[in-house]
Amino acid sequence: MEYQVTLPVKNENGYYEIRLESIGGLGANLCGKMLGELGALYMGLNAASFSSYGSEKRGSPVKAFIRYSGREQEIGINSPVEKPHILGLFHEAMIGKSAVTAGVTGDTRIVINTDASPENIRKRLKLKEGTICCIDALSIAMESKTRINMVMLGAIAKASEFIPLDAVSELAKKTIGKKYPAMWEANLEGIRRGYEELKSQYFAKDESGEEEYQEIKNEWGYANSPIGGVNPCIGSTVSNDLSASREGYIPLFIKERCINCGLCDSTCPDMVFQFAKGEYQGREAMVNMGLDYHHCKGCLRCVDVCPVNALVAGVEREHPNPEYAMRNQDLLPEQLDYEALGPNSYVTSEAYLTENRVDGGLV
Ligand code: SF4
Ligand code: SF4
> Residue 66: enclosing H or E segment and its boundaries?
strand 61-70
Of 64, 36, 66, which is closest to residue 167 (Cα–Cα)? Answer: 36
Residue-by-residue DSSP string for 196-208? HS-EEEEE---TT
Pick the CATH number of 16-203 from 3.40.920.10, 3.40.930.10, 3.40.50.300, 3.40.605.10: 3.40.920.10
Annotate 287-316 with DSSP letters as a single string. EEEEE-GGG-----HHHHH-TTS-EEEEEG
**pLDDT tens per residue, range 89-110:** 998 878 876 678 888 888 999 9
The upper half-sphere exposure of residue 228, i.e. CA atoms within 13 Å in the direction of its Cβ, equals 5
Whether pLDDT at 358 is above 50: no
Answering whether pTM is above 0.85, one says: no
pLDDT for the residue 164: 95
Rounded distance from Cα 203 to ligand 1 centre (Å) = 49
- 298 CB within 6 A, ligand 2: yes
In sequence order, what are the beta bridge partners of 67?
17, 48
- Mutation to probe ligand 2, out of 247, 301, 304, 347 (largest number of atoms < 8 A from CB): 301
Q: Which of 255, 256, 257, 258 to mutate to test the pocket of ligand 1 (most atoms within 8 A of CB)?
A: 258
Q: Quote the pLDDT of residue 222.
A: 61
Q: Say what the pLDDT of residue 178 is.
A: 76
Q: Which of 252, 272, 289 to mutate to test the pocket of ligand 2 (most atoms within 8 A of CB)?
A: 272
Residues in contact with 241: Cβ distance below 8 Å, sequence separation at least 6, in sequence order: 97, 218, 233
The predicted-structure confidence for 277-329, as pLDDT tens digits, reads as follows 889 999 999 999 888 776 777 888 999 999 999 998 887 766 655 555 665 66
| Residue ranges around ligand 1 (CB below 6 Å) | 258-264, 288, 306, 308, 310-311
Percent of the chain topping pLDDT 70: 73
For residue 268, give the ligand nearest its CA: 2
CATH 3.30.70.20 corresponds to the domain 227-361: yes
Q: Report domain extents, the chain.
A: 16-203, 227-361
The residue nearest atom 4 of ligand 2, judged by CA position, is: 296
> Is the C-beta atom of 63 inside 6 A of ligand 2?
no
